[in-house]
Structure 1
């Protein structure tokens, strides 16, 4: 398995997620992250119709290539959009970029290889370290398994150092880990990593019962993303109109988040700081990657990571039935 730095920077903001991100702000994010010692960066063609790869690649080109780890994703090709209307933006997908390109799903061997080649061209680099299959829950399961087999071939050819799959759906990740595992008598190995989005957080741990032990049994590392549950855990006080899964949070979810915040307060830790620590310390996690939209958010993250959290907090949450026993790695 590739040795990932423990903390990473997600690349969606470099693709103008939720609004325009000026070049100076993007550069400030990268500079602050680099100065803080963060050396893992993740992007995807999906982020801003290639804008994230183009912008992040240009910024990283100023840094020594051997000093950082870079990942991108496959599964969606970008093609010229013949239906583009001047002034139209990709806001339906959350990105404020012109719709001059369109996403085309292609999980065939040729499509996976073309996706990676195009990503390298946009990045302006000769290699990425990790290639993930992006959102496999959106595709027929057989196609997702076939795409993973192509990724295994690319790793065997030395095109990438490690491969993985990134999803919000725990079941599909369990299936892909098991399906990619070598059968008896066959050499090689399967997936190196899974990227789990919003399913292994201080609020909820659907990954815990099956995915975590499955990954442990097959030597697969977990990259944890979305640890704030769409912003629900991002503030010390849970707002009554907080969002969850990109919609209004149900009352039961807000009640649970408030209960967790109350336990955190007893230990002198605010909710987002506890969420950051859980996201990076949960059993099986080899990296926690965070979406950061400004240099100030980078500084805030590093301050939270540097904050000491009493292990008694996790024990208290377990006693109160708010965390499963054993979920925090010693």
Structure 2
């Protein structure tokens, strides 16, 4: 597994395996899985060379973090990179009041309480350390400061103001003291990530589904800003919630919902180009984001061992240069998008 070294501040930095593991599925996302299944998935990732693991209190309302606890207990702490998130505190509640009913299954009875204040950051961090059973995490992301989560730009902007007023300073302090190596935000919209980057000294963003084979608008302003400031990108959701893995079939998922007609049509056109060049859609989708200099890791996650093994195999794909050129010629890829055949990265080892 290739490694990308990231050291924005000269503090020794972090070594990200190109393929990381997004652990939201281990929180019983969309279907319950057993403890043994979860551990088998994590072991398959480790055996395949994956050494970067991302989690959050939201994922299974603490379940993802506690499952990582069991898995990481036998691992040397210096052998992996670990990130979790702040912005939500978990409160005990009645089962019918828990967060994520219909999305997360068989989870503890907890409800989320948004808190991006300094106190909220420190309380969330402490609770995550307890659930994870570790002495430190490497990265803290402010979670979901975006319109997708909060329902309107006005509400999202108010949350950002709350965060910048005190929670941000808490993360700066933790980084400056060496408690964490880096901080940033885990965001569903590149526009909100850019708004944060323009206001503070962020090291790294976890961008979910907004720089993929299907979407590259982030190249217009956000990703150039990241390059200019040395900000790293962890890319979540490389399959746009599923459609770039399944193809444009009826009921295909896009952005956590059923794909609309215009998305289905665009994916059909990409699939036709894949067929012309003998390329699998899913392998092109996974390989594409790595070509951008700012991307330090891609974290597709997985609920089954077979999914992890498939992602590891897809990393071996070598798509022809003509494929990427033809995508651009047909207007299916941003003209400024770096493509894998030209992506020799000085940070890779």
Q: TM-score, normalised by structure 2?
A: 0.87
Give the match for residue 345 of structure 2.
Answer: none
Candidates 233, 244, 248, aligned match of 2:244: 233
8 Å contact from structure 1 (residues 49, 97) kept in 2: no
Task: Give 1:194's aligned residue.
Answer: 205
Question: What do you get for the CA RMSD once the two structures are aligned?
Answer: 1.6
Contact 2:118 2:168 in 1 (8 A): no
Q: Are the counterparts in 1 of residues 85 and 140 from structure 2 also a CA contact under 8 Å?
A: yes
Distance 2:102 2:217 in 1: 25
TM-aligned CA deviation for residue 130 of structure 1: 0.5
Aligned residue for 1:222, secondary structure, equals strand
DSSP 3-state at the match of 1:232: helix
Q: Deviations over 1:265-301 (max 9, x none)?
A: 2221111110000132234211111121111111101
Instruction: Please tell me whether the aligned partners of residues 23 and 54 of structure 2 are also in contact (alpha carbons under 8 angstroms).
Output: yes
Report the CA distance between 1:90 and its aligned residue: 4.8
Question: Residues 141-290 of structure 1: matches in 2 within 5 Å?
Answer: 141-146=160-165, 147-180=167-200, 190-235=201-246, 237-290=247-300
Contact 1:233 1:272 in 2 (8 A): yes
Matched, 1:67 2:79: yes
Aligned pair in 2 of structure 1 residues 91, 105: CA closer, same or farther (>3 Å)? closer
State which of 301, 315, 322 in structure 1 corresponds to 2:325.
Answer: 315
Q: Tell which deviates more after alignment, 65-74 or 150-159.
A: 150-159
For residue 287 of structure 1, give the secondary structure of its aligned residue in structure 2. strand
**Aligned residue number for residue 186 of structure 1:** none
Give the alignment partner of residue 5 of structure 1, picking from 17, 40, 55: 17
For 2:232 and 2:256, the matched residues in 1 are separated by 27
Question: CA 1:310–1:151 in 2, change beyond 3 Å: closer, same or farther?
Answer: same
Shift in Å at residue 91 of structure 1? 4.4
Equivalent of residue 116 in structure 1, options 125, 138, 142: 125
1:183 alignment partner in structure 2: none
* Distance in 1 (alpha carbons) for counterparts of 2:47 and 2:87: 33
- Structure 2 unaligned blocks of 5 or more: 1-7, 151-155, 343-349
Deviations 1:190-248 (A, max 9, x none): 2110111111010111211111011111110111111111111112x420332222323
Query: In terms of mean alpha carbon deviation, does 315-324 or 283-292 score higher?
Result: 283-292
2:141 equivalent in structure 1 = 132
8 A Cα contact 2:98 2:111, kept in partner? no
Partner of 1:44: 56
Q: Secondary structure at the match of 1:309?
A: coil
SS of equivalent to 1:196: strand
Is 281-290 or 319-328 further displaced after alignment? 281-290
2:109 alignment counterpart: 100
What is the DSSP-based 3-state SS (H/G/I as helix, E as strand, rest coil) of the residue aligned with 1:179?
Answer: coil
Whether contact under 8 Å (1:90, 1:97) holds in the other structure is no
Q: C-alpha separation between the residues in 1 aligned to 2:102 and 2:223?
A: 30
Contact 2:292–2:338, Cα closer than 8 Å, also in 1: yes
CA deviations on 1:294-330 (whole Å, 9 max, x unpaired) are: 1111110111111211122111111111111231253
The one-character-per-residue Cα deviations of 1:74-117 (angstroms, maximum 9, x if unpaired) are 00011222x335xx865436111345222111111111011001
- Number of matched pairs: 317
Conserved? CA contact 1:90–1:98, under 8 Å: no
1:164 is paired with a residue whose SS is strand
2-structure distance, mates of 1:312, 1:193: 32
Q: Does 1:300 align with 2:320?
A: no
